[in-house]
Structure 1
């Protein structure tokens, strides 16, 4: 199972840095795009045709989903997507929290107050806690975590049993430890440094907390992601090293990792 980082900037994009978007792939199977924040569609075009991917969303904050309206344009109007009138279109699987079709349709609509029907291009399904699905030769299990609005971390098992755990956006919670248990790679948000008095509760993790979660879950490696552009990256990494003794990667746009290798 291969992870390609298309974007990993936290909360907002940074200079030359797309928001959250991670491509998961195994040979001979449909690639799966995990989150699709602003800037991700452009980076996706570097590695595959956007009409060929399935999509899973952790939640519906703009930095995790708002390039999907642009993907709708690609899937409807790019020359390789054009079909005869009334002909069937191959729909991409789209899994997301409750309200996904309305949220993306509102962002895609040409008319204020109206909602575009995205079901011409996406076969939409809504996550619920402990839901399991197989996509692209990989097994996904959703865990509802501590972040508004409804947000799901994902535990992804590859064809050889390798495990990627994705925190989504979350504060510390029991579900985070459960989804990451024993993972080969823990892709974990660390939006801020550890200053509890300066951070809203029930929202994001610090480097300290990401390291603590990795230690509690006994993961084999920690990959820090979703660091906000205004946050000191080196400080976040140093914090994680204080609470986790295993290998730590800092996710960068364009990085490719073979999970479990």
Structure 2
């Protein structure tokens, strides 16, 4: 289980970690990243896949989210943005102010199409869309995106923040990807590496799509990460098998992501 972070920590909450589609124990991909600055909590939502908006409300008021980062535009990572649009536009407290959304090129068009909205306006009154293009900041967070290897434009990222407890700390997120050199840049010396493992090693897996548990562990070892959390295991696979594959090649602290787990970074 994830360690419980203190109220002043830079922390990650797993909102959804099921790979490719929601499972019986978790929604699809969604991660809440929080840190304190200027007397308040800053909140990033990283991906918002199938079923995730419902679970997100257990951990944060959706109206208090500061920004959304979408690693790519497959439905299991972004489709609940359509429901989030409804929540922000039609809330009884009134239409909410725009919040920034970072994602691949065409994110605004993809989401407008997903909700059958006219292209002239789409969701641009509710969300301020930005394309990943170099490092940027949101409150206490410094975010650095990296292109990864997936059938659509896709990104992993490093999210860093200064903490009173331990100084500068870094959360690395693989996004969805096959093996690619940028993964080592993402993982390098990360305090926590949130890495997908969707394939069983040794199966006839397609290239340029996902990692196996073994590959996930190998990247963690080469990147000398402090802690590995394995995520995005599809419900049709045995998650414990993915864990075993990674443990065979990475001897650092390793565990499976679980819906509701909280990790201090």
Q: When the two structures are superposed, what TM-score results if normalisation uses the length of structure 1?
A: 0.92
Q: Give the conservation status (yes or no) of the 8 Å contact 2:25–2:259.
A: no
**Looking at both structures, which has the greater relative contact order when contacts are Cα pairs under 8 Å and sequence separation is at least 6?**
2
Shift of 1:48: 1.7
1:236 match? 242
Q: Do the aligned partners of 1:142 and 1:154 also contact (CA within 8 Å) in 2?
A: yes
Which residue number corresponds to residue 59 of structure 2?
47
Aligned to 1:56: 69
Equivalent residue number for residue 143 of structure 1: 146
How far, CA to CA, are the matches of 1:120 and 1:220 in structure 2?
Answer: 41
Does residue 153 (structure 1) correspond to residue 195 (structure 2)? The answer is: no
The structure where helix makes up a greater share of residues is 1
| Structure 2 residue aligned with 1:164 | 171
Unaligned runs of 5+ in 2: 1-9
Q: Distance in 1 between matches of 2:229 and 2:61?
A: 27
SS of residue in 1 equivalent to 2:48 = coil
Is this contact kept in 2: 1:31–1:136, CA < 8 A?
no
> For this pair of structures, how many residues does the alignment match?
248
Q: 1:108 to 1:30 in 2, by over 3 A?
A: farther
Residue in structure 1 matched with residue 130 of structure 2 by the alignment: 125
Displacement after TM superposition at 1:195 (Å): 2.1
Deviation track 1:198-256 (CA, whole Å, cap 9, x = no partner) reads 21111000010000000110101100000000011111100000110101021000001
Deviation at 1:29, TM superposition (A): 3.8
Structure-2 residue corresponding to 1:211:
217
**Residues 49-58 or 218-227, more deviating:** 49-58
Among 71, 91, 108, the residue aligned to 1:78: 91
2:33/2:46 contact within 8 Å kept: yes
Equivalent position to 2:21, from 8, 12, 17: 12
1:137 Cα deviation from its structure 2 partner:
1.2
Higher strand share: 2
* Structure 1 residue ranges without an equivalent (≥5): 84-88
Look up the match of 1:190.
Answer: 197
The CA deviation at 1:16 is: 4.0
Residue number in structure 1 paired with 2:258: 252
Whether the 8 Å contact between 1:108 and 1:115 is mirrored in structure 2 is no
Would the aligned equivalents of 2:28 and 2:76 in 1 still touch at CA under 8 Å? Answer: yes
Displacement of 1:115 after TM fit?
7.5
Does the C-alpha gap of structure 1 residues 75 and 2 become closer, same or farther in structure 2, counting only changes over 3 Å?
Answer: same
Maintained 8 Å contact 1:105/1:115: no
1:115–1:106 CA distance, 2 compared to 1 (3 A): farther
Does the 8 Å contact 1:57/1:97 carry over to 2?
yes
Compared with structure 1, are the counterparts of its residues 115 and 167 closer, same or farther at alpha carbon in structure 2 (3 Å cutoff)?
farther
In 2: Cα distance, 1:116 partner to 1:247 partner: 47
Deviation, structure 1 residue 171: 0.7
**Paired position in structure 2 for 1:86:** none
1:37 aligns with 2:37: no
Taking structure 2 as the reference length, the TM-score comes to 0.90
Which aligned runs of 4 or more in structure 1 are off by greater than 6 angstroms? Answer: none
Equivalence for 1:174 = 181
